[in-house]
Structure 1
Amino acid sequence: MEMLSPDAVAIRHGVAARLERLPLTRYQRSIFAVIATAWLFDSIDLGIMTFVLGSIKTEFHLSAAQAGLLGSSSFLGMLAGAAIAGVLADRYGRKPVFQVSMIFWGIGSLLCGFAQDVTWLMVFRVLLGFGMGMEFPIGQSIVSEIVPAKNRGRYVAMLEGFFPIGFIVAGIATYFLLPVIGWRGIFIALSVPAVFVFVVRRAVPESPRWLESAGRIVDADAVVARIEAHVKAALGGAELPAVAPVTNVAPPSHRAAGKASIAQLWTGGYARRTFMIWTLWFFALLGYYGLTTWLGALLQSAGYEVTKSVFYTVLISLAGIPGFMTFAWLIEAWGRKPSCVLTLIGSAAFAYLYGQAAGSHAPVAHLIATGACMQFFFFGMWSVLYAYTPELYPTRARATGSGFASAIGRLGSLLGPSIAGIVLPAMGQGGVFTLGAASFLVAALAVLTLGVETRGRALEEVSV
C-alpha cells in the first residue's frame, strides 16, 4: 500500500477539496453560532450610540458638530483595528487575533460608562471601536473559509444579519434602561458579555485553509480531520462524500505563506477588485453611518421627545430583519453583484424620500414607512457586503483584503456623522439624507462597472 507524506496528501486531497465536499451539519452551524454571538454583542455596542447620542449631547451641552465627532469616534478605532487585525490574521492565524479583539471591546465599553467628559468618552469609544474593527474581517474570513461554497454566501450574509438584530436590541434596551440607569449604566452593562464571548470562542478551530496556505500542512490536516469526524458524527456515522478536486489550487509550497501585505491587494488581477471594493465600502459606510448615527438625534431635533424618538427608530429598524433575510437568499439565487447594486440603489432612493419626510414634518405613518423601506435596503446591503468581500481575495491575503476594505469603510464611517453634523445646520435634514443617497449611488456605480460574480464557486476558483 502506497504511503503518502503529509505534503503529498495535501496536494492530492487539499483542504479546499475536503471541506467543500462536506455536508452542512450542526457542527459547522455551532461554529457559526459562536461567531454570530460575538457579532450580535458587537453590533449592540456599536448601535447603542444611535439611541443615546441625544442624551449625551444634552448632558455635555454639545453642538451638532461636536456630537457628530463623538458619533464618529468609534469608527476611528474600527479603522485601525480592521487594518491591523487583517494583516495579523494572515500572518499569525485567525483564532488568536479573534480572541484578542474581545479584550479591547470589553474594556472600552466598561470605561465609556465612567467617562467624566466628552473627550474621555471619545477616547474610550476609539478603544471599543478598535476591538470591534478587529472582530469583523476575521469573523467573516473564518465563516467563509469553513462553510462550503454552496452555503457560504447565505451564512456570511446571515452573520451580518445579527447587526440589525443587535441594533434593534440596543434600541429596546435603551428604551427600557435609559430612564433607569442612564447611558453610563448601559455602557457598563454591555461590557459583561465580552467575558462570555471570550470563553466560548475557544471552541472555534483555526482556519485549515489558512494553516495550509501558511505551509503548516500537518496542522491543517489535523484540523480538517477533526472537522470531518464531527461532521460524520453529526450524520450518525454515515460515510462522507468522496473528495472531488477543486480547480485552480496551487501546491502549498508555491504560496506566499506568511507574506500578507497591502501590496498583494494591488498586484495582478486584484487591483481592479481592490479599487472596486474600497470604493464600495467607503461610500456605502459614509452614507449609512452619516444617516443612522443621527436617526434618534434628528427625530429629537424635529420635536419628538426622547422616548418617542427611540421608539420610532426601533420601529423603523425592525424592517432590517426581513431585509437581511431577503438578501441572504437573493445573493445565492441571483448573485452577489446584482444583489449588491439593488441594495445600494434601494438605499439611495429611500434615504432621499425619508429625508424629505423628516424634513417636512410629514405624518408619523409616512415617516415610519419610508424609514422602514430605507432600513430594509440598508441591512440588505450589509449582508451582501460582508458575503462578497472575503470572496474576492485568496486565502493568503483574505483577512488582509477584508480588513483593509473594512478600514477604508471605517474612514467613511468616521467622516459620515461629522459631515452630517456640519451639513445639518446649513441644509437641514433633507440635505443630510440627500448627501447619503448620493454616496450610495457612487458605490452602486463602482460595483456595476468593476464588480465580478463569485456566486457558487469555491474560494480557490475565484482566485486570480
Structure 2
Amino acid sequence: MDMSAGSLRLSAGIAARLERLPMTGYQRSLFGIIATAWFFDSMDLGLMTFVLGSIKAEFGLSAAQAGLLASASFLGMFAGAASAGMLADRYGRKPVFQISMIFWGVGSLMCGLADSVTALMLYRVLLGFGMGMEFPIGLSMVSEIVPAKSRGKYVAILEGFWPIGFIAAGVLTYFLLPVIGWRGIFIALSVPAIFVFVVRRRVPESPRWLEEVGRDREADRIMANIEHHVQRASGKPLPPVDDTFAPPQRRARKALFAELWHGPYAKRTLMLWAVWFFALLGYYGLTTWLGALLQQAGYAVTKSVLYTVYISLAGIPGFLFSAWLLEKWGRKPTCALMLIGSALAAYAYGQAAVHRLPVEQLIAAGLCMQFFLFGMWSVLYAYTPELYPTRSRGTGSGFASSIGRVGSLAGPYLVGVLLPVAGQGGVFTMGALSFAVAAVVVLLFGVETKGKALEEVSH
C-alpha cells in the first residue's frame, strides 16, 4: 500500500468514508447475512406462541404456570441483551454476534430434549440469553455499515424479519406439530445455528468501532476493502470524501455505562427504557398467549395455530409501511403512530374476543393489531441505536432491550394471573394501556434523528 494514500484515508475519518458510499449489492449482501441470522432467531422466539397450548396440555399446567414458562426466555434475554451490549462495545460486534448464535442454537436443541417443565424452563432461559445477545448487536452492525440516507429503512427491514420469522414458526408448527411434536420443532430450529460460519467468513468487523477504540490501521484496512467491494458492485468511481464529522471521542471502556447517564444521553436513556418496558410488556403479554387464548375460547389446536398465522400476516405490510414512513415522516411521529394504533387495535381485539364475535371479525381485529405491533417493532429497532455514540451504542441498545425484557418477562406472567380474574377483555385492555403509556413517553421526550449521520446525532 502507498503510505501517502494510507495516511490520506486515515485522516479522512471512517464516518466520512462510509457516509458517502452508495448502497450496492455488497452492503445488501452483508445485511442479508445478518438478517438471515435474525430470522432464525425470531423463529425460535415466536415458536412459544404456537406451542404453548400443547405444552400446557401435556404437562397439565395452570394458566399462571404456563405464563411463567412463557416468560422464562425473557429472563435470559434480559441478561443476554445487557451483557452483549457491553461486550460488543469492548471487544467488537462480530465475535459477540457469533457467540450469540451458538447460545440460541444449543438452547433450542436442549428445549427439544427437556424431560420436565423445570428443565424446559431452564433451557428457555439459555435460549433467551442467546437471543437477547443477538438483537442489539445485529442492530449496531447494520446501523454502522449502512449510510444515514438508507439507515432507517434497512434497520426497519431488519426488524421486519421478526414478523416473517414469527409467521414461519407458525407455518412450521401447523405442518409439523402433528408429525414430530413441539420437541421435534425445537430440535429442528437448532440446526440453523451453523450459520455462524457464514458470519465468520463474510461479515467484517465494524470499522466505526475499530476507529473508536484506536485500532486505526485495522479500521483503514477493513474500510478500504468495503470501498473496493462497493466500487466494484456499483461500477462507478466512488464520490469524493467530504469530512465534515468530528473525530471520535475516545474514552475509557469502563465509562460506557456511565455515559448513558451523561448530558443529553440521560434523557434519551430514560425515554428509551420507559418505551421499551411498556411496549414489550404489552406486546409479549398479548402475542405469547394468542394461540392459547384461542384454544381456551374453544378452537382446536390446529385451528388456533392457523388463525394466529393469519393474524400475523398483517405484520409484513405493517413493518414495510413503517420502514417507508420512518424516512418520509421521521422516527418520533412514526413511533407514536404505531404505538397509538397498537393500543386501539388491541382493545378492539379484546372486545371481539369477549363478545364472541364471528371468527372473521376476530381475525380482522387481529390483523389490525398485528399491523401496528410489527410496525412498532420496526421503529423501536431503527430508533434506539441512533441515539448513542459508537463507543456506547451496543451498551445503550443492549440495556434498552434488556429493560424491555423485564416487560417481556412480566407480560406473559401477568396475563396468566389476570386471565382468571379479568378475562380476555381485561388482558387486552392491559396491553392497550401499556402501548398508550409508551406513546405518551415518545411524544413528550423523544428526539428526531431522520436523515442525520450517527455522528451528527451523537454531537
Calculate the TM-score normalised by the size of structure 2.
0.98
Contact 1:35 1:201 in 2 (8 A): no
The aligned counterpart of 1:22 is 21
Shift in Å at residue 358 of structure 1? 1.0
Alignment partner of 1:113: what SS? helix
The aligned counterpart of 2:12 is 13
The aligned counterpart of 2:435 is 440
Contact 1:87 1:260 in 2 (8 A): no
Contact 1:90 1:260 in 2 (8 A): no
The aligned counterpart of 1:215 is 214
The aligned counterpart of 1:143 is 142
Among 349, 352, 359, the alignment partner of 1:357 is 352
Write out aligned runs for 1:2-401 (5 A): 9-10=9-10, 12-236=11-235, 238-247=236-245, 249-250=246-247, 252=248, 254-256=249-251, 258-401=253-396
Contact 1:331 1:384 in 2 (8 A): yes
Shift in Å at residue 166 of structure 1? 0.3
Shift in Å at residue 137 of structure 1? 0.2
Alignment partner of 2:90: what SS? helix
Distance in 2 (CA, whole Å) between partners of 1:155 and 1:5 is: 32
Deviation sequence 1:82-109 (CA, Å, 0-9, x none): 0000000000100110111111111000
Among 405, 408, 412, the alignment partner of 1:410 is 405
Partner AA of 1:310 in structure 2: V
Deviation sequence 1:278-307 (CA, Å, 0-9, x none): 001000000000000000000000111101
Distance in 2 (CA, whole Å) between partners of 1:304 and 1:369 is: 17
How has the CA–CA distance of structure 1 residues 264 and 421 changed in structure 2, closer, same or farther, with 3 Å as cutoff?
Answer: same
Q: Percent identity?
A: 72
Shift in Å at residue 185 of structure 1? 0.3
Which piece of structure 1 moves more, 151-160 or 195-204?
195-204
How has the CA–CA distance of structure 1 residues 193 and 452 changed in structure 2, closer, same or farther, with 3 Å as cutoff?
Answer: same
Partner AA of 1:385 in structure 2: L
Shift in Å at residue 3 of structure 1? 6.5
Partner AA of 1:302 in structure 2: A
Shift in Å at residue 311 of structure 1? 0.6
Shift in Å at residue 33 of structure 1? 0.2
The aligned counterpart of 1:423 is 418
Shift in Å at residue 23 of structure 1? 0.4
Shift in Å at residue 359 of structure 1? 1.7
How has the CA–CA distance of structure 1 residues 168 and 3 changed in structure 2, closer, same or farther, with 3 Å as cutoff?
Answer: closer
Contact 2:102 2:196 in 1 (8 A): no
Alignment partner of 1:453: what SS? coil
Partner AA of 1:289 in structure 2: Y
Which piece of structure 1 moves more, 364-373 or 238-247?
238-247
How has the CA–CA distance of structure 1 residues 7 and 79 changed in structure 2, closer, same or farther, with 3 Å as cutoff?
Answer: farther
Shift in Å at residue 198 of structure 1? 3.8
Distance in 1 (CA, whole Å) between partners of 2:425 and 2:201 is: 47
Contact 2:256 2:391 in 1 (8 A): no
Partner AA of 1:131 in structure 2: G
Deviation sequence 1:405-431 (CA, Å, 0-9, x none): 000001100000000100000000000
Calculate the TM-score normalised by the size of structure 1.
0.97
Alignment partner of 1:30: what SS? helix
Distance in 2 (CA, whole Å) between partners of 1:434 and 1:382 is: 20
Distance in 1 (CA, whole Å) between partners of 2:97 and 2:353 is: 40
Gaps of 5+ in 1: none
Distance in 1 (CA, whole Å) between partners of 2:255 and 2:104 is: 25
Deviation sequence 1:150-175 (CA, Å, 0-9, x none): 00000000000000000000000000
Gaps of 5+ in 2: none
Distance in 2 (CA, whole Å) between partners of 1:257 and 1:204 is: 27
Alignment partner of 1:111: what SS? helix
How has the CA–CA distance of structure 1 residues 201 and 368 changed in structure 2, closer, same or farther, with 3 Å as cutoff?
Answer: farther
Size of the aligned set, in residue pairs, is 458
Contact 2:98 2:199 in 1 (8 A): no
Contact 2:351 2:425 in 1 (8 A): yes
How has the CA–CA distance of structure 1 residues 351 and 302 changed in structure 2, closer, same or farther, with 3 Å as cutoff?
Answer: same
Shift in Å at residue 6 of structure 1? 6.3
